[in-house]
């Protein structure tokens, strides 16, 4: 699918100068690494159509094609990888320095730009949401199967596995991650990004570009909190279990209950809370 992804001009992290202050110590000037952040504009068009801008998201450069593919899937704009004919960086941008910050996605079907505007208003990744948007997602989602069942002990192992592989977090200390695991705890995909929703779209997009959807056999673990937008994306991608090391929001719990997603929060320190669809968690001796 598409053209080989070229490296962006900006990297996943950047070196900057800082003045380090500590009580009882002299100020020290040194170099430090921070997470990279650049805008990514996503344009979409059907066969022979002009491209329409569908989103601009602030992201950490890298895995941009996966980000675009995952975004289109989780926003309900494509159903699978077969609907995407090509993804490439735009070469006709006015500012050459932004060449790797604009993507064009060519679909194999006509693109309904009017339908896009309604969808983006209702279920934006920025968190504009409510009962009406949950209703919209509920209609758009495939039915998530009853399984799989994951043991409590396996759940407890996931955060350490994820953290051990977070290379960009090691360098910057300021970046989110999403990992896709098998029910027995094997890490299959890990993507990092300064935006938690981008990290999930990248991980989902990686599987989509391998022709694998819906993702009914995976557990998703996110490094931060579980907001509505992450439950939404998990549900549309068919992910049955979403776990987070942080807290969920009230609307995230409501959405998980209605959309059939097992929602786990505060997964750390040998404990967790299961907020929705507890039947997929084997508590064992917990």
Peptide bond before residue 153 is cis, with ω within 30 degrees of 0: no
Cβ atoms of 275 and 263 within 8 Å: the answer is yes
Cβ atoms of 36 and 61 within 8 Å: the answer is yes
Helix orientation angle between 250-259 and 228-237, rounded to the nearest 10 degrees: 20
Cα dist. 249→40, 220, 266, 273, 277 in Å?
27, 17, 12, 13, 16
Phi-psi region of 129 (alpha: psi -120 to 50; beta: other; left: phi over 0): beta
Residues 6 or more apart whose CB falls under 8 angstroms from that of 254 comprise 134
Q: From the candidates 90, 126, 129, 141, which is the catalytic residue?
A: 126
How many Å apart are CA 183 and CA 140, to the nearest integer?
25
How many Å apart are CA 61 and CA 117, to the nearest integer?
26
How many Å apart are CA 107 and CA 100, to the nearest integer?
20
- The encoded tokens of residue 191 equal 């993507």
In the annotation, is 126 catalytic?
A: yes
- What DSSP designation does 22 have? -
How many Å apart are CA 211 and CA 207, to the nearest integer?
7
Catalytic annotation, residues: 126
């Amino acid at each position: 699918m598409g053209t080989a992804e070229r490296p962006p001009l900006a990297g996943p992290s950047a070196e900057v100068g800082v003045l380090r202050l500590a009580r009882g110590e002299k100020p020290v000037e040194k170099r430090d690494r921070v997470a990279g952040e650049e805008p990514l504009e996503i344009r979409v068009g059907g066969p022979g159509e002009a491209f329409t801008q569908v989103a601009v998201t602030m992201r950490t450069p890298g895995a941009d094609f996966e980000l675009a593919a995952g975004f289109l899937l989780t926003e309900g704009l494509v159903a699978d990888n077969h609907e995407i004919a090509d993804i490439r960086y735009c070469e006709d941008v006015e500012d050459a320095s932004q060449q790797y910050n604009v993507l064009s996605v060519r679909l194999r079907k006509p693109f309904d730009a009017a339908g896009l505007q309604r969808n983006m208003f209702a279920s934006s990744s920025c968190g504009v949401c409510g009962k009406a948007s949950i209703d919209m997602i509920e209609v758009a989602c495939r039915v998530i199967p009853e399984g799989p069942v994951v043991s409590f002990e396996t759940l407890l192992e996931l955060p350490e596995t994820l953290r051990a592989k977070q290379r960009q977090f090691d360098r910057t200390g300021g970046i989110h991650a999403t990992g896709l695991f098998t029910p027995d705890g094997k890490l299959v995909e890990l993507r990092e990004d300064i935006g938690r929703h981008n990290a999930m779209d990248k991980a989902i997009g990686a599987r989509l570009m391998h022709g694998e959807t819906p993702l009914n056999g995976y557990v998703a673990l996110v490094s931060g909190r579980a907001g509505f937008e992450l439950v939404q994306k998990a549900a549309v991608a068919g992910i049955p279990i979403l776990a987070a090391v942080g807290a969920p929001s009230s609307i995230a719990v409501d959405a998980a209950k209605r959309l059939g997603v097992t929602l786990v929060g505060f997964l750390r320190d040998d404990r967790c809370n299961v907020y929705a669809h507890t039947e997929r968690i084997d508590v064992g001796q917990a």
